Amino acid sequence: MFLKIICKIKKGLAGCSSLFYRKIVDRIDDNEDGYLTTEELKNWIKRVQKRYIYENVAKVWKDYDLNKDDKIAWEEYKQATYGYYLENPEEFQDATDRHSFKKMLPRDERRFKTADLDGDLVATREEFTAFLHPEEFEHMKNIVVLETLEDIDKNGDGFVDQDEYIADMFANEEGGPEPDWVITEREQFSDFRDLNKDGKMDKEEIQHWILPQDYDHALAEARHLVYESDVDKDQKLTKEEVLDNWNMFVGSQATNYGEDLTRNHDEL
């Protein structure tokens, strides 16, 4: 379906322009003045992001709500995810697999308990959403930071040094010289990641890195779209400017990377 739409767009937008007008441009234009502003694009991107998260939870909900009570208890999640491993540990002879299960089970339990605000070990949809998408919830940020630290901190000292930071992105298995982008990342670590200049990142510095308080992803995306598509530089986009730069919108969060182009009008 998506490929058919792309083909239509490439053939002069025949048949697709009205679809894009109705389903995307008109929906983003909150005040219906015929223009898209950075603020309208930012708000739309945030709505698309939130919709994606809740749709993702809805898709997997039935896999974990084993007793169909519209809640997911920790025991239900554990059984659905780790039940076979717990009941048949002898079949997991591979040391890597066995280690992964042993590591992930307590980690999931810790995250589940953090998401479970009332402490009853039973997750509502909102609590389960926080469990699956912790980066979107303020009370889950410490878990996101802790899990990032645990993933990268290979020597277990509770910090991320420069070599661990690089190793998470690049494995120099051949032992040759590092590429230029790796050298740049080392400079980034020294100049911007290691804020107190002690040669390593602590939890606060990791949070500043992965969850920066002064950076709005939706706003940055909106500004980028306006900058690239605003031909007359009036800080707002006409429908024609959007359609002339359709390929950028298809690859953007504003259309959920093109997925919204295939939706029915009522779904948006």
Give pLDDT tens digits for 47-71: 988 998 999 999 999 999 999 999 9
Q: Give residue 249's pLDDT.
A: 80
**Among 39, 20, 9, residue whose Cα is nearest residue 222:** 39
> Following CA atoms 189, 192, 197, 199 in sequence, which dihedral angle do they give, to the nearest 10 degrees?
-10
- The Cα 262–Cα 29 span in angstroms is 19
Q: Give residue 266's pLDDT.
A: 46
**Among 34, 10, 4, residue whose Cα is nearest residue 247:** 10
Q: Give residue 10's pLDDT.
A: 43
Its pTM stands at 0.77
| Packing angle, helices 125-132 and 95-115, rounded to 10 | 140
Angle at 206 between CA 173 and CA 162, to 5 degrees: 35
Segments of 57-105 assigned E as strands: 72-73
**pLDDT tens-place string over residues 146-197:** 999 999 999 999 999 999 999 999 987 777 889 999 999 999 999 999 999 9
Whether 189 contacts 182, CB under 8 Å: no
- The Cα 223–Cα 212 span in angstroms is 18
- CB atoms < 10 A from the CB of 115, how many? 22
User: Alpha carbon of 231 to those of 86, 152, 203, 223: distances in Å?
Assistant: 60, 44, 43, 14
The residue among 54 and 92 whose pLDDT is bigger is: 54
AA identity, residue 196: N
**Among 188, 125, 127, residue whose Cα is nearest residue 162:** 188
SS3 213: coil
